[in-house]
Structure 1
Amino acid sequence: MALFYKSNNAGVPIGWIAIMLALLASMGGFIFGYDTGQISDILLMEDFKLRFATCETPGVVASCDFTVVREGLIVALLSIGTLAGALIGAPTADYLGRKYAMIVECMVFIVGVIIQMTARHVWQQFAVGRLVSGLGVGALSAAVPMYQAETAPSQIRGSLTATYQLFITFDCISIGARDIPGAGSWQTVVGIGIVWPVIMIVGMMFMPESPRWLAKHDRIEEAAAAIAATRGIRKDEAMSHPVVSKEIEQIRNHVQYESKMKGGWLDCFSLKDKILYRTLLGMSLQSLQQLTGANYFFYYGASIFQSVGIEDSFITQIILGAVNFFCTFGGIYVMERFGRRRPLIIGGIWQACWLFVFAAAGTAVDPEQNDSIGKLMIVAACMFILGYAMTWAPGIWILIGETFPTRTRAKQGALSTASNWTWNFLLAFFTPFIVSAIQFRYGFVFAACNLLGAVVVYFFLYESSDLTLETVDQMYCDPECKPWNSRHWAPAGYESRHNLVEQTKAAEAHKPIVGGEESRREDVEKSGDEGRTERC
């Protein structure tokens, strides 16, 4: 059964499988968001402090506290694990396939959770458990956007890939467990983390493999069946259906071209076809996503909210998390409706403005002594998160899935994601030291990084919305196409991007092609012709 994506009066068939695979794969984001979102609360739970903190008076929680090093290792070892996991995830996804790689990575995460739950009085065991869980999370962060981008129909690829970020934001569960007596408080919070990978494992068993990975391994009929599933087309009609045959031919031609080229780690730094350009771009965008300053608020927002009398960190988490979660829905719409470049540029400027307000207010007047300044800073923080959730949060994960060519996509995605986790660790570990030295002026640093992000997007990022992954690769290879005019780029045989989108939708909906030109009809139906496969 097919759903229909409506745009400009052209219906495009989208199968319910496409929606389900996005939701299930995005459980990987839920796993990460949950694990990072709960640790700050776990560190405050009385039984956890009695077991793992340093206590001056045994059994008296008021005398227990974590050293900076111990707390930093418990929190940051997850990021170290995610960094290693992202790099390991690339060869795993290439060898096992995207689908089964994610299943294995979920199992690794579950092992890490079990290690944490069975810790009794040795904090190092709990920290190692987070390291192991991080391996699974990091590998998933590389595999999930790639799987979604390779499997989802191009018309809704942005929306479906953005659900990964949406699930990252949904993490406020520990508030219901903090009053459970004894070890049950923190063990319940940690143990619930097993639910998400179990759901993902079971669900993914019924989802199709990436058609591009299947085609790369000469499993063309299975690739056609996978495309048919996401389009709501019967399996027995896959090879003969015009929508499937057009897309599979394009994928097959692209795979044949790339089969003549290498796809190892060193090839991620090749100058040919702008591979190095795209590797550095992906790493830069993922780094800049961390340098927006979002995690400064998510990890250390409690001290800001204390300035207006909100001292309960659980409430702080809910306020910031709620803004992030609900605004991400808007981000899914924005990235699908307005493309990739414009939202990221506007978002970078918007975020920089509110960070400047935040930093200037906190530097001019002590917010603990002035309620009005404290409230202004909270408003600035929420407005910053609003912009971040609607642009840079979902947008970067979308781009990581659709910017790279098939032969090196897994490895380039891994390098980009590893950059994200590297900065995640650095910011999480060093922010307390930086804040103690420059206090709220730290916001000026993040404001500058957001402006830098907007500049990088304008001068280096190509507009990839509405294009198939193979056509995105062709666009980056076109010497006549520049980032600032890429919004209007279209492959040979089409007048404009709008013309390409309209003709593709008309063909997929089995409607007459506007214009009636036979040559245009052939361009739509034959994705493997010379114009569509022309390379640099």
Structure 2
Amino acid sequence: MAGGVKKPVNIFKLKNLDEPKGVFNWRLWFAVVSFGLLGAARGVDEGLINGAFNSKVFQHSIGYENYNETEQANIKANVSAMVQVGSVAGALLAFLVCDRIGRIWATRQLCVLWILGIAIFMGHGNNLSAVYAGRFIAGLGVGQTPVVGPVYIAEIAPASVRGLCTCIFTGAVYLGIVLAYFTNYGAQVNIGDATPNRWLVPTSLHIIFAGLIFMLTFFQSESPRFLIKQGKHEEALKTMSHIRQLPPDHEYVVREIAEIRAAHEEEMEATMGSSKIGVLKEMFLIPNNAYRLYLALTVQLLSQWSGAGSITLYAPDLFALLGIEGTTESLLASGVFGVVKLVSALGCALFLVDVIGRKRALLIGITLQAIAVIYIAGFLTATPELGTVDDYVLPHYKLGPSRGAIAMIYISGVGWALGWNSMQYLLTAELFPLRIRAVSTSLAMTLHFANQYGNARAVPVLLLPLRSGGITPAGTFWFFSAITLLGGAWVWFFVPETGGRTLESMNRLFELPWHQIGRRGNDDADRLDMVIDEKQADMLGGAAEHVDDAREKRVSKEAHA
């Protein structure tokens, strides 16, 4: 092989792309973990807010007991979902700051917003309006995390392990959830409801994570792809060399930078350096970009309304609904639920997403999720008193099915971690060309948080009895079941396999007519990989000559020394 590049053996990869062994180094993994921790922003909030809200001290401070059942459901939904409201605006803001000030400074400013919002929330817990305002501001920061984190990781990761690297972000979501659940549990056991510390101590976990991520950014380098987009080619080469731990004149580094430059220049030439309005036209009017946007947006829609996010957010309430008695017990069950999701996400990252491919992992996850929510819906249909009759006690003969429904909550978490939750970030981060990557990801994440808000806002009301304006717990889970099945069919027909491809070669997946991409796109792209664009071939040829010249000069200099 040219240049003496060795082919490393790696069981975590779908394809071996002849990457030098040295590219999988500590700098890469340190950067991946640093930006992957941004995923904890969502996880910490989802895991904390329900437990914090259920604290008697917090409820008393906002006068919760003075409202009727429907008003209480609406207040709970508003407090829980206000971060998602802010996140909608944050996701829209993300592409502006991400493309203007870069991935590093975008991360720093979102951490500042995140800390500021949580500080307001913690400092004014006795004022419902201030609670809403603080959580909204925190959402402005949190909403940027699924844009900045996955985009940066996808842009620095070698193609063969890009799925694994991006799924570190997903794993951090569950790390945040696990720590949040067990922090709530520990506060309930050791502090109790007698003091404000019951909800203030767990909530401080937000500030710990935001502060840690902020500090880690000072040890990281800017994305080479962003630098090329800014015209800083020499800096991009040095940065890529630093991240890959290879000399700047190494064949692999030079080839990688040349491919990025060629793809970017091709995009610029095709669009003639058009304005911001031109970027939007590229997104919606160029057919293969429009199809990618369709995939990214539909993933957000179907994943959020499959119900798994709501199960995470309201896990203590759902465990109590299905038969686990007591606040402490439901919090402990929620903590175990978080551990199950974390282990599943790590398993997906290590052994599935880059080994069997994105699409197969997604279909396996959706299948598990569908089995779980259909079982829960059936159990709740057979036990209509749950959630509709106050102080209802399960008869002895239904305890077994109740335990089965509780187990299915865990199985739904496994399915969600293997499927939708990984792909809603991974596919969105890797589908788009460099020129429209940030704005397209931002738009997809805006829809993500809009749907997450709608789901989080609606579920407490949907779970209410018919007399109170809900559709009952059984009706809610049948709704989730229908969306999950619809999502599985959609993935089978429309989503192509993106694993094992460089970001610059992703365009080849979308050369077929739209109705054939999901079923034949990957095979067709593999054939197109054999044909290199003439302009890119010229650039790569020049890059190879540069490598030879640089190598000769270096050897001559070393010999002279």
Which band: TM-score by shorter chain? 0.7 to 0.9
The reply on whether 1:202 has 2:215 as its aligned counterpart is yes
Out of 479, 483, 498, the residue aligned to residue 464 of structure 1 is 498
Deviations 1:470-527 (A, max 9, x none): 101233245597321233344667569xxx9xxxxxxxxxxxxxxxxxx9xx899659
Q: Which moved more, 1:243-252 or 1:412-421?
A: 412-421
2:35 to 25, 29, 32: 25
Cα separation, 2, equivalents of 1:182 and 1:225: 54
**Contact conserved, 2:493 with 2:519, CA < 8 A, in 1?**
yes
Indicate if the aligned counterparts of 2:463 and 2:473 stay in contact, CA closer than 8 A.
Answer: yes
Q: In the alignment, does 2:342 pair up with 1:325?
A: yes
- 1:308 is aligned to 2:323: yes
Q: For structure 1, which segment, 221-230 or 424-433, has the greater mean C-alpha deviation from structure 2 after superposition?
A: 221-230
The aligned counterpart of 2:161 is 156
Cα separation, 1, equivalents of 2:404 and 2:239: 51
Q: Which moved more, 1:372-381 or 1:169-178?
A: 169-178
Matches of 1:32 and 1:469 in 2, distance apart?
Answer: 26
1:295 aligned onto 2:295: no
Query: Corresponding residue for 1:81?
Result: 86
Alignment of 1:342 with 2:370, yes or no, is no
State whether structure 2 residue 448 is matched by structure 1 residue 431.
no
Counterparts of 1:349 and 1:184, CA distance in 2 = 41
Greater helix proportion:
2
Per-residue CA distance 1:13-36 (angstroms, 9 max, x = gap): 322111111111122111221122
User: Contact 1:267 / 1:408 at 8 angstroms: preserved in 2?
Assistant: no
Looking at structure 2, the residues matched to 471 and 425 of structure 1 have their Cα atoms a distance apart, in angstroms, of 35
Q: Deviations over 1:107-160 (max 9, x none)?
A: 111111111122152121122111000000001221111111111111111011
Residue of structure 2 aligned with 1:453, choices 482, 487, 504: 487
Q: Which moved more, 1:28-37 or 1:268-277?
A: 268-277
Deviation at 1:266, TM superposition (A): 2.5
CA deviation profile, 1:215-261 (whole Å, cap 9, x unmatched) = 0111112212222233222xxx21x1101000000000111112232
2:508 pairs with 1:474: yes
Question: Which residue of 2 is the match for residue 6 of structure 1?
Answer: 10
**Within 5 Å, which residues of 2 pair with 1:235-246?**
237-238=247-248, 240-246=249-255
* Contact 1:400–1:416, Cα closer than 8 Å, also in 2: yes
Identity of aligned residues (%): 24
Is 2:438 the partner of 1:410?
yes
- SS in structure 1 of the partner of residue 219 of structure 2: coil
Q: For the residues of structure 2 that align with 1:302 and 1:117, how far apart are their CA atoms?
A: 22
Q: How far, CA to CA, are the matches of 1:380 and 1:56 in structure 2?
A: 36
Aligned counterparts, 1:128-143, within 5 A: 128-143=133-148
Cα distance change on mapping 1:190 and 1:350 into 2, 3 Å: closer
TM-score w.r.t. the length of structure 1 is: 0.85
Q: Distance in 2 between matches of 1:231 and 1:146?
A: 18
Alignment-derived partner of residue 483 in structure 1: 518
| Structure 2 residue aligned with 1:249 | 258
Change (3 A) 1:357 1:197: same
In the TM superposition, what whole-angstrom CA distance separates every residue of 1:26-70 from its partner, at most 9, and x where no partner exists? 22111221122101111122322232234569xxxxx99982332
User: SS in structure 2 opposite 1:49?
Assistant: helix
Following superposition, the deviation at residue 12 of structure 1 comes to 3.4
CA contact (8 A) 2:508 2:528 kept: no
Give how far 1:415 is off: 1.2
CA distance in 2, matches of 1:460, 1:164: 25
Please tell me the residue identity of whatever aligns with 1:488: D
Question: Does residue 145 of structure 1 match 2:180?
Answer: no
Q: Residues 163 and 354 of structure 2 are in contact (CA less than 8 Å); yes or no, is this contact kept in structure 1?
A: yes
Say if 1:38 and 1:495 are closer, same or farther in 2 by CA, change over 3 A. Answer: same
Would the alpha carbon gap of residues 41 and 337 (structure 1) be closer, same or farther in structure 2, given more than 3 Å must change?
same
- In structure 2, relative to structure 1, the CA distance for the partners of 1:200 and 1:4 (3 Å cut) is farther
- Structure 1 residue 269 displacement after superposition: 4.0
Deviations for 1:446-490, whole angstroms, at most 9, x for unmatched residues? 222122212222222221111110101233245597321233344
Distance 1:133 1:253, change over 3 A: same
Kindly tell me the number of residue pairs found equivalent between the two proteins: 496
- Kindly report the root-mean-square deviation, in angstroms, between the aligned alpha carbons of the 2 structures: 3.0
Q: Which amino acid aligns with 1:68?
A: A
CA distance in 2, matches of 1:398, 1:377: 30
Secondary structure of 1:336's match? coil
Aligned equivalents of 2:59 and 2:257: distance in 1?
Answer: 57
- Structure 2: stretches of 5+ with no match in the other structure: 1-5, 387-393, 465-470, 545-561
Tell me the distance in 1 between the aligned counterparts of 2:475 and 2:315. Answer: 15
SS at match of 1:404: coil
The within-5 A match list for 1:241-280 is: 241-260=250-269, 261=271, 262=274, 264=277, 266-267=280-281, 269-280=283-294
Tell me if the contact between 1:335 and 1:395 (Cα under 8 Å) persists in the aligned partners: no
What is the CA distance between 1:71 and its match in structure 2? 2.1
Structure-1 residue corresponding to 2:187: 177
1:186 is the counterpart of 2:199: yes
Asked whether the 8 Å contact 1:18–1:229 carries over to 2, the reply is: no
Q: Distance in 1 between matches of 2:187 and 2:7?
A: 40
- Residue identity in the other structure for 2:488: A
Where structure 1 has 5 or more consecutive residues not aligned to the other structure, the ranges are 58-62, 501-518, 530-536
Instruction: Write the distance in 2 (CA, Å) between the matches of 1:92 and 1:113.
Output: 21
Farther-moved stretch of structure 1 (367-376 vs 323-332): 367-376
Q: Structure 2: which amino acid aligns with 1:222? A: E
Q: Which moved more, 1:148-157 or 1:468-477?
A: 468-477
- 1:50, 1:64 within 8 Å by CA — same for their partners in 2? no
Q: 1:210 to 1:273 in 2, by over 3 A?
A: farther
Residues 295 and 150 (structure 1 numbering): CA distance in 2 closer, same or farther, change over 3 Å?
same
Tell me whether 1:400 sits opposite 2:428 in the alignment: yes
What is the SS of the residue equivalent to 2:357?
Answer: coil
Contact 1:88 1:139 in 2 (8 A): yes
Contact 2:46 2:313 in 1 (8 A): no
Moved more, 188-197 or 22-31: 188-197
Q: TM-score, normalised by structure 2?
A: 0.82
Q: Indicate the residue corresponding to 2:554 in structure 1.
A: none
Q: Give 2:380's match in structure 1, choosing from 362, 378, 385.
A: 362
